[in-house]
Amino acid sequence: MKPIRRWSVYAFAAASGCSAALIAGCGSTPKQPTPGPVVTRPTQAPSIDAVVKAQNQRVDGLSSLWARHTLRVSGKLANAKLDKEEAEGHFQLILPRKVAITVTKVGETYFYLGSNDELYWWLDLTEAKRGYFGRHALATTTTVDRFGIPVHPLDLIELMAITPIDEALLKKPGAVTTPKWSSDGQLLWYDVPARDATKRVLVDPKSLLPAFVELLDKNGKVIVRAELANYLDIPSRSKPSARPRIPTRITIDVPRSDLTILINLYDPETRTPKAVAFDFAYLAKTAYPVNALDDLDQPLDQPVERPVERPVEKPVERPVGEKSVP
């Protein structure tokens, strides 16, 4: 699968209000699209209040997610060999910070991408038998690039646009609270602050569903972007009256790595995953044992290996005898 190049059609005109104070040099702005059919856009854009209401209603009742997934990578990963190979596994979330994604082939788990309230990690269960972990508070693109898939698990949640918009974020510096038209008149975009970044969301003007999400650094350069498609309504277990609507096809583009990751979700449910799926010490020592752990928050010239026997966080209480992790 060749990296997707559709982003050019969403170039933002100078009139979009992209100021140097917000996004220096408009670094995320792609080139102008090639000539095409004339698009007649509505004369008036929806208000940010309408956008916020639609987003928050769409994800109402979504506090956790469990699904099967297929994953296909186009490009080279650090510490992993998955170029143009299709894998599968389980995709589990407990919002807002817990992620557990297994990557398996022929029933055998090769990699485990995860996070909990404090840590994020990548377990390489191939011949290397090595784990990489870091702390959310210290994460940078440099540290994330040193392990497996170069997308921080918390950024993955942002890219999926499955969390409500906190109206307090709209009052913070960097927020663009008046939706702007893309230069081709097909989508609207707005900005909100995110984890050490600015999140730019491009939505369909009629459905107000997010079509694309970009995370921009402080200079306005794209860190990672995602195309969202194949939305599906699913029943909520935590709120029976709600039916959250989630994207089941997520195409992630990491420009700095020339990398594209395609994730398809199947049979999604709002069931709550087991606590052990996010217990890093238990995973690395018992469920998916590795021989060594690399602390990503240490400088490259001063690598620190932690013996697996030493816990790096407080253990999660679980019933006696519970070992399996889906």
Around Cβ 322, how many Cβ atoms within 10 Å? 11
What's the mean pLDDT in 8-33?
37
**Cα angle 22, 53, 266; round to 5:** 95
What phi and psi values does residue 265 have, to the nearest 5 degrees? -100, 140
Answer yes or no: do 82 and 51 share one domain: no
pLDDT at position 41 = 57
Measure the CA–CA gap between 268 and 265, rounded to whole angstroms. Answer: 7
Provide the pLDDT confidence category of residue 196 given band limits of 50, 70 and 90. Answer: confident
Asked whether residue 138 falls in the same domain as residue 194, the answer is no
Rounded-to-integer distance, Cα 126 and Cα 246, Å = 32
Q: What is the pLDDT of residue 106?
A: 87
For the chain, give the percent of residues with pLDDT over 70: 76
Residue 167 lies in a domain: no
Sign of the four-CA dihedral 204, 208, 209, 215: positive
Report pLDDT digits (tens) over 260-314.
999 999 999 999 999 999 999 999 999 999 999 999 998 865 555 555 544 445 5
Do 143 and 226 have their domain in common?
no
Interval 161-182 mean pLDDT: 90
Q: Is residue 75 located within the same domain as residue 220?
A: no
| Mean pLDDT value of segment 184-196 | 91
The number of CA neighbours under 13 Å toward the Cβ of 69 is 27
Residue range 28-55, pLDDT digits in tens: 444 333 333 444 555 588 999 999 999 9
Helix or strand run (H / E) with residue 230: strand 222-233
| Residue 188 pLDDT grade (very low, low, confident, very high; cuts 50, 70, 90) | very high
Q: Are residues 53 and 83 in the same domain?
A: no
Handedness of CA 140, 254, 227, 94 (dihedral sign): negative
Beta-strand runs (E) in 107-187: 108-115, 119-124, 130-135, 176-181
- Asked which of 25-34, 124-133, 169-178, 250-259 is least confident by mean pLDDT, the reply is 25-34
For residue 325, what pLDDT band results from cuts at 50, 70 and 90? low
Q: Which pLDDT score, from 0 to 100, does residue 318 have? A: 47
Share of the chain above pLDDT 90, in %: 59
CA 126 vs CA 113, 129, 250, 284, 285: distances in Å: 14, 6, 26, 13, 15
Q: What is the pLDDT at residue 192? A: 92
Range of 127's domain? 64-158+273-306
Average confidence (pLDDT) over 157-167: 95
pLDDT over threshold 60, residue 154? yes
What digits encode the pLDDT tens for the residues 199-238?
999 999 999 999 999 999 989 999 999 999 999 999 999 9
Task: Give the span between the Cα atoms of 259 and 249, in whole angstroms.
Answer: 17
Reported as a single tens digit per residue, the pLDDT across 107-116 is: 899 999 999 9
My answer on whether 68 and 123 are in the same domain is yes
Kindly state whether residues 93 and 133 are assigned to the same domain.
yes
Domain count, the chain: 2
Same domain, 206 and 143: no
Residue 277 inside a domain? The answer is: yes
Helices (H), the chain: 48-58, 141-145, 153-160, 280-282
- Residue 324 in this model has a pLDDT that exceeds 60: no
Domain contains 81: yes
* Whether residue 203 sits in one domain with residue 71: no
Q: Which long-range contacts (CB under 8 A, 24 or more apart) does 54-58 make?
A: 54/208, 55/161, 55/164, 55/165, 55/208, 55/210, 56/164, 56/165, 58/209, 58/244, 58/245
Residue 311 in domain? no
Same domain, residue pair 138 and 192 = no
Residues 55 and 177 in one domain: yes
Same domain for 198 and 123: no
Domain membership of residue 245 (yes or no) is no
Q: How far apart (Å, rounded) are the C-alpha atoms in residues 178 and 194?
A: 17
- Domain-embedded: residue 193: yes
Q: Is the peptide bond before 315 cis (omega within 30 degrees of 0)?
A: no
Q: What is the mean pLDDT of the chain?
A: 82
- Is residue 246 a part of any domain in this protein? no
CA–CA distance, 38 with 235 (Å, rounded to integer): 40
- Confirm whether 259 is domain-assigned: yes
DSSP state for residue 4 in the 8-state scheme? P
Q: Which helix (H) or strand (E) holds 82?
A: none
